[in-house]
Amino acid sequence: MFRNPGNDELRALLASAKRIAVVGASPNPERPSHRIARRLMQWGYEVVPVRPALAELLGVKAYARLAEVPGKIDLVNVFRSADRVGPLVEECIARGVPAIWIQQGIVNEAAAERARAAGLEVVMDRCISVEYRRLMQ
């Protein structure tokens, strides 16, 4: 059974990540992915939006796929349905992304275990914004 990292590990992950790809970032300000991308920027993270057919989000160039994002990514924050997490994990592994954060309400234990087996730090079914406020402020 999948278990999330403890508070110390979550705190270390949030402290070490500098560049976060938000996969499934929405241009709609009412959507959680939009609000959280904005908060991450306010907290000093470099946010890279990833969503097909999106040119930019909050003034930042967006990419259709994770594979198209240039440069290093420290953390992938996932706002996609559970059935789309598996292929995304494979993209993260191929890119050498060290950590994946699967947002609250999204559960794919097989994908999470695959990511962990490949050496990624994995957080699942937790909100990055809630955890940041709880652990970092």
Is 90 exceeded by the pLDDT of residue 1?
no
Question: Which tens digits make up the pLDDT trace of 2-45?
Answer: 999 999 999 999 999 999 999 999 999 999 999 999 999 999 99
State pLDDT tens for residues 39-74: 999 999 999 999 999 999 999 999 999 999 999 999
The string over 120-137, giving b where at least 16 C-beta atoms fall within 10 Å of a residue's C-beta and e elsewhere, is: bbbbbbbbbbebbeeeee
Number of Cβ within 10 Å of residue 29's Cβ equals: 9
Is the predicted pLDDT of residue 81 greater than 90, yes or no?
Answer: yes
Spell out the domains of the chain, with CATH numbers in brackets: 7-136 (3.40.50.720)
Residue 105 pLDDT exceeds 90: yes
Answer positive or negative: Cα dihedral of 49, 55, 59, 61: positive
- Is it the case that residue 111 has pLDDT exceeding 90? yes
Take residue 95 and report the two structure tokens written for it. 């890119």
Q: What is the arrangement of strands in the sheet containing 75-78, beginning at the earlier edge strand?
A: 46-50, 19-23, 75-78, 99-102, 121-124
Give the start-end residues of each E strand in the chain: 19-23, 46-50, 56-57, 60-61, 75-78, 99-102, 121-124
Global confidence as pTM: 0.96
pLDDT at 18: 98
